[in-house]
Amino acid sequence: NKKIVIAVDGHSSCGKSTLAKALASRLNYAYIDTGAMYRAVTLYGLRNNLIAEGKVDEADLTAQLHQIKITFRYSEAAGKSETYLNGENVEEEIRQLPVSRSVSPVATIGEVRKHLVALQQEMGKNKGIVMDGRDIGTVVFPDAELKIYMTASPEVRAQRRYDELKAKGEDISFEEIKANVIERDYIDENREESPLRQADDAIVLDNSYFTPEEQLDWAFEKVMERL
């Protein structure tokens, strides 16, 4: 009964979490959303006035990392795992625009990455895990048995996030979302500390035109080849 590590990396809003979640549930593996961890640290920073006008107080945020406790708990009602910051359910709040705007700058900080990567490695040490993020196949689990690199056009991705936020009743324009998607891509790909890039041994999935079911079947087949 061999278990593997599955790394799902790629740009923001290209369906990584949808695929990773579905794959984990089909395999009976754990699913870890590492973006939620960077988002929770960002929310902590915003609440404690360590981020103002896009500028992060790196020294203070780094000094307080040890008192930021991030956990995931499965919600029966929501039918999914939700993110907790120091015991408080922050699943909704970490998806909103203030956090989305500041998360990429926070994720450039080396000490923040070191801290979260160590937690992620601990979570995956027994394998049987699907983890999505930006640096899972390159930094967190360079030996992952399966690495998927997902991509889709900025328009397709912005449209998806727009539909999601609209459905939740948020008042926001498509242009604002598209600008945020493009800006985050730029910061993620150009930062010094673990920039987003495709691992040499990753397989690419451009999902602009695939349904979630097609993606799941495709990925499931790749897993079977490795078991």
Buried b (16+ CB within 10 A) or exposed e, 21-41: bbbbeebebbbbbbbbbbbbb
34 or 151: whose CB is closer to ligand C5P?
34
Give the Cα separation of 174 and 163 in Å (integer).
9
Q: Which residues fall within 8 angstroms of residue 136, CB to CB, at 6 or more apart?
A: 7, 8, 9, 34, 120, 144, 147
Least distance to ligand C5P from the beta carbon of 1, Å? Answer: 28
17 is in an annotated binding site: yes
| Residue 164 burial (CB count, 10 A) | 13
End-to-end CA gap in the chain: 8
Which of 12, 83, 180, 207 binds ligand C5P (CB under 6 A)? It is: 12
* DSSP code, position 202: P
Span interacting with ligand C5P, options 30-38, 43-51, 54-62, 171-179, rule CB under 6 A = 30-38
- Structure-token pair, residue 23: 């794959």
27 or 150: whose CB is closer to ligand C5P?
150
Q: Which amino acid is at 166?
A: K
Say if residues 130 and 20 touch (Cβ distance below 8 Å). yes
Least distance to ligand C5P from the beta carbon of 148, Å? Answer: 14
14 is in an annotated binding site: yes
12 is in an annotated binding site: yes
Span interacting with ligand C5P, options 18-26, 34-42, 67-75, 84-92, rule CB under 6 A = 34-42
Nearest to 82 by CA among 138, 42, 32, 28: 32
Span interacting with ligand C5P, options 18-26, 32-40, 84-92, 146-154, rule CB under 6 A = 32-40
3 state DSSP class of 203: strand
CA distances from 26 to 131, 213, 217 (A): 14, 12, 10
Verify binding: residue 10, ligand C5P, rule CB under 6 A.
Answer: no
Least distance to ligand C5P from the beta carbon of 50, Å? Answer: 17
Q: What angle in degrees, to the nearest 10, is found between the helix axes of 174-190 and 97-106?
A: 10
Verify binding: residue 27, ligand C5P, rule CB under 6 A.
Answer: no
Span interacting with ligand C5P, options 31-39, 66-74, 163-171, 198-206, rule CB under 6 A = 31-39
Verify binding: residue 91, ligand C5P, rule CB under 6 A.
Answer: no
169 is in an annotated binding site: no
Binding residues among 93-152 for ligand C5P as defined by CB under 6 A: 103-104, 107, 133-135
Binding site for ligand C5P (CB under 6 A): 12, 34-35, 38-39, 103-104, 107, 133-135, 184, 188
Known binding residues for ATP are 10-18
